[in-house]
Structure 1
Amino acid sequence: MAAALGSDNLPHAITMPESDNPTYIAFNKTATNDRQHRDFWDRAWPELQAAARKWEAADLAATDDRALLAGIAELANAEGRYWTSNGGHTFGVAKSVDDQLQAFLRESLPDHHFTSGQFLSGFKSRIMQANEDMFAIATLIKAAPPLYEVVIATPARRLMAVLRQRDDAGEVLAAIDAYLATYGHQGYSLDFCEPTQQEDPSAMFVTLKNMVQRADYDPAQHESEATRKREDALAEIRELLDPFEYWQFRYRMWFAYQYYPMREESCFVLGTAWPALRRIATELGQRLVDVGTLSEPSDLYFLTTDEIEPALVARAIGKAMPEYLALTAERRQLREARKRLHPPGTIPEEARENPGLKFKETQFKNDDSSDTLRGIPVSPGTIAAPASRIMNAQEFDRMLTGSILVCPMTSPAWTQLFAHAVGLVTDIGGILGHGSIVAREYGIPAVVGTGNVTQRVESGQVLEVDGDAGTVAIQTGD
């Protein structure tokens, strides 16, 4: 066998199970994956960071119009280069090793509903550190009765301003500022026209207020629950596999442990350039407001570069382009209308049957008349509880403790909601989507990629989520 395979391929052949699954094709050797990770740390991340820091230090008021426009392009391109040249591929390494473990479990034990998430949770991560850092702020507030009363009584959108007016809030404000300095570049969506947490921390304060109010909350609960589920699954699977299969399983798990954590690193830095880009856009937009071309600075996001350039030429001679007032208003309305559309899983739709794409599917096509939705099981366990349907960051205050979070999808800025959720169901998602990772770390059942759960479910409806089978039953109350 060794002679036939060659000494270089023998270890690879032994560790790879016999399978036609295309997930085993990519990122299946340590040398390839290590090279990808080195490029992240040595080049991709430093380049993105340098671009952001350059413009963070710039005196925008003293910078001319065209340089500001060039700065927006520079930062947008820096984000694009980061993701296309490395970040997306580093994410792909994590996705591949996770899916390889998932494929092994599905093909080796097809009747047992094991998921990779049962074995890839309960570890220290950016996700859990962010939650612990917020809990530390809540602990400071709880220790100061006057601040506790203020935080409980003040609406989230006004809380930062109220705290900054108080002489006794210095330590808490320093902790909040440190939190935002670390995590505040993350947006509630991936669109840079949306404010980041640094600009609008009100959604973060919704969760902070909830933590302050909950006397029984401790983030260590999540880690211990995830660890328990992992250890139980390890004990069970050892009894089900023969010795060689178990050895292959342990190798696949080790392989995933090596590269899976980089998923969070690659996504954590995504959006690093957005705060600086948004400050530039606000400065340039305000200049066009002052001359009468725009109604408000953020209208700039609704113009193309080819439209902005003549507006800058006109501004240079003190003239406005008032036709842009109606144009930007119309485009704002169009954007809001498009939010009501539901994207297909693939384009064209029949491409979802392509074997090379099928394993990348991010949403199921469910029957609108059925009260049971299918999705991708990503975090084990079952739970029956009311739903909290949250469509965007403006609705974070509708999240009820002890409910199932139902949403289109999640980004890192949504992590804070998981501290109060007992389950997760999304329209769009995959085995390595953000919501999947967070649900595993919090030890809550999750089914993602149902396609249309936000169209089928209202807040308060009781759902039964089976994170092992990948089903969501909508209780009708009949």
Structure 2
Amino acid sequence: DLIKKSQSSIAALKETIQTKSGSELFDFILEDIQQARALLFDPESSAVFMAAINASAWLNEKMNEWLGEKNAADTLSQSVPNNITSEMGLALLDVADALRPHPPVIHYLQHGKWQHDQWQHDQWQHGQEDSFWDGLAKVADGEAARAAIAAFLDQYGMRCAGEIDMTRTRWREDPTTLVPLILSNVKNFAPGESQRRFAQGRQEALAKAEALLAQLAQLPDGQQKAAETKHNIDLVRNFIGYREYPKYALVSRYFVYKQALLKEAKRLAQAGVIQAAADIYYLTFEELHEVVRTHQLDAQLIDKRKAEYKLYDKLTPPRVITSDGEIITGAYKRENLPAAALIGLAVSSGVVEGRARVILKMADAELEEDDILVTPFTDPSWTPLFVSIKGLVTEVGGLMTHGAVIAREYGLPAVVGVENATKLIHDGQRIRVNGTDGFVEILE
């Protein structure tokens, strides 16, 4: 019901916002943001994923206490329903399945002219929105490929790397961003991988639940313990997937706002008020409203903001900073770890060895079956990469951040919060990730 309510709200927003322009658009967005906040902070919504989070913590504590089983909830969280982010990674495998039987389409994706012009990332600014799609339509079987990619974008096109920043180019705005991921899936997986992977994870989770309940039944008060455990397993499996949905809904809503504001920006550019539609990214919402109302803008303000952005982009932010500007530092205090181990937080259990792939930008990712992803952080747009890796190491994160949640659902050992991991681990090195105890070893 919560998901349906959110979907209905966004559908109504898309319809109504088409009738708004000028100052009326800005007033409408401000009013709609209040509805977005109400949905985001709906007590019923929070209660759903908090019930799952609390149940997960209970399972980890009690299974360790009663059975000596560490991080039992990790396996129990695999292949849960209604996780919009993990479903996205599997859906891109389905796109690869749709394109794989069509060699002309694969050749176009590998060698198409769109790879060599200025279309990427600013295509809407130059009036070339359809160049990728037009080229695809001219290829044999291109319409079938177009339909498969378009269906994916209908569901997930509002996402992109750094999606919380509205100015970032969305997959819908630049679908070529997905091409390397699709080609990687075509190369690395057999048809039907998404169904096999989900079924395998679900089978492992249910087998784990059955084994735990059988062991508990043999303990003193075993029936009571098993009943409590079954209840908490059900909470995790029914509700933990919803943890990813509120942000998906928020990003969906903000993309609708962005599209409407860019229409205003294009009108300003055509009128000569700004040089390019993307100039509005250097204005506050209130400043843009004033420019739309008056058609007046000091061009030096845009130049000043662009220069400031370039400066800020070179800075390295602290790991933790308070609202008062205090920078907080700390260190892990752990014992009985291997010498020279890199310490972090255990967020998805299991131990795995493989080749470290140190990746700072998702666009640079070229992953193979034996690879372990090492990166500063991930967000939902990185999820399609998770189907190709066997483990995860990040510099920041926690138990309920994106990388940890998806790693558990996909059954990948993961350690997060490993300070300077991308500097201490070199691309191509063999490493061992211990997602049960929270450390990483460099093997060579």
TM-score grouping bracket, smaller chain normalisation: 0.7 to 0.9
Q: Tell me the residue number matched to 2:126.
A: none
Deviates more, 1:124-133 or 1:440-449: 124-133
Q: Tell me the residue number matched to 2:301.
A: 324
Count of residues in correspondence between the two structures: 415
Q: Cα deviation per residue 1:33-81 (whole Å; 9 max; x = unaligned)?
A: xxxxx5x3575553344224322x34x7xx33x2333344345444433
Q: Cα deviation per residue 1:319-356 (whole Å; 9 max; x = unaligned)?
A: 54222232321342245235x3133186689999xxxx
Unaligned runs of 5+ in 2: 121-130, 334-338
Q: Cα deviation per residue 1:414-446 (whole Å; 9 max; x = unaligned)?
A: 211111111112233333332223222322211
Cα distance in 1 between the residues matched to 2:77 and 2:353:
24
TM superposition shift of 1:169? 0.7
| 1:100 counterpart = 2:100 | no
Secondary structure (helix, strand or coil) at the match of 2:392 reads: strand
Cα distance in 2 between the residues matched to 1:70 and 1:401:
50
Q: Tell me the residue number matched to 1:341.
A: 317
Secondary structure (helix, strand or coil) at the match of 2:141 reads: helix
Q: Percent identity?
A: 21
Query: Which residue, out of 161, 167, 177, partners 1:193?
Result: 167
Secondary structure (helix, strand or coil) at the match of 1:406 reads: strand
Structural RMSD (CA)? 3.5
Unaligned runs of 5+ in 1: 1-37, 353-362
Task: Specify whether residues 100 and 270 from structure 1 end up closer, same or farther in structure 2 by C-alpha distance, changes over 3 A only.
Answer: farther
For residue 318 of structure 2, what is the amino acid of its counterpart? Answer: H
The answer to whether the 8 Å contact 1:412/1:434 transfers is yes
| 1:120 counterpart = 2:91 | no
Deviates more, 1:299-308 or 1:100-109: 100-109
Secondary structure (helix, strand or coil) at the match of 1:147 reads: helix
Q: Tell me the residue number matched to 1:202.
A: 176
- Aligned residue runs from structure 1 range 401-416, under 5 A: 401-416=369-384
Q: Cα deviation per residue 1:364-388 (whole Å; 9 max; x = unaligned)?
A: 8459xx8423333232221111222
- Aligned residue runs from structure 1 range 346-425, under 5 A: 365-366=331-332, 371-395=340-364, 397-425=365-393
The answer to whether the 8 Å contact 1:197/1:413 transfers is no
The answer to whether the 8 Å contact 1:152/1:213 transfers is no
For residue 103 of structure 2, what is the amino acid of its counterpart? Answer: P
The answer to whether the 8 Å contact 1:387/1:458 transfers is yes
Q: Tell me the residue number matched to 1:222.
A: 197
Q: Tell me the residue number matched to 1:27.
A: none
The answer to whether the 8 Å contact 1:48/1:79 transfers is no
The answer to whether the 8 Å contact 1:302/1:331 transfers is no
Cα distance in 1 between the residues matched to 2:186 and 2:3:
37
Task: Specify whether residues 193 and 80 from structure 1 end up closer, same or farther in structure 2 by C-alpha distance, changes over 3 A only.
Answer: farther
| 1:141 counterpart = 2:99 | yes
Q: Cα deviation per residue 1:206-240 (whole Å; 9 max; x = unaligned)?
A: 21111112354623443354345432575267437
- Aligned residue runs from structure 1 range 299-314, under 5 A: 299-314=279-294
Secondary structure (helix, strand or coil) at the match of 2:390 reads: strand
Query: Which residue, out of 146, 157, 171, partners 1:184?
Result: 157
The answer to whether the 8 Å contact 1:204/1:416 transfers is no
The answer to whether the 8 Å contact 1:380/1:466 transfers is yes
* TM-score, normalised relative to structure 2: 0.80
Secondary structure (helix, strand or coil) at the match of 1:269 reads: helix
Q: Tell me the residue number matched to 2:232.
A: 252
Cα distance in 1 between the residues matched to 2:286 and 2:95:
46
Cα distance in 2 between the residues matched to 1:304 and 1:282:
14
* TM-score, normalised relative to structure 1: 0.75
Cα distance in 1 between the residues matched to 2:167 and 2:47:
25
TM superposition shift of 1:107? 4.5
Query: Which residue, out of 9, 17, 24, partners 1:67?
Result: 24
Q: Tell me the residue number matched to 1:428.
A: 396
TM superposition shift of 1:185? 2.1
The answer to whether the 8 Å contact 1:447/1:467 transfers is yes
Cα distance in 2 between the residues matched to 1:444 and 1:459:
19
Secondary structure (helix, strand or coil) at the match of 1:260 reads: helix
Cα distance in 2 between the residues matched to 1:76 and 1:387:
42
For residue 46 of structure 1, what is the amino acid of its counterpart? Answer: S
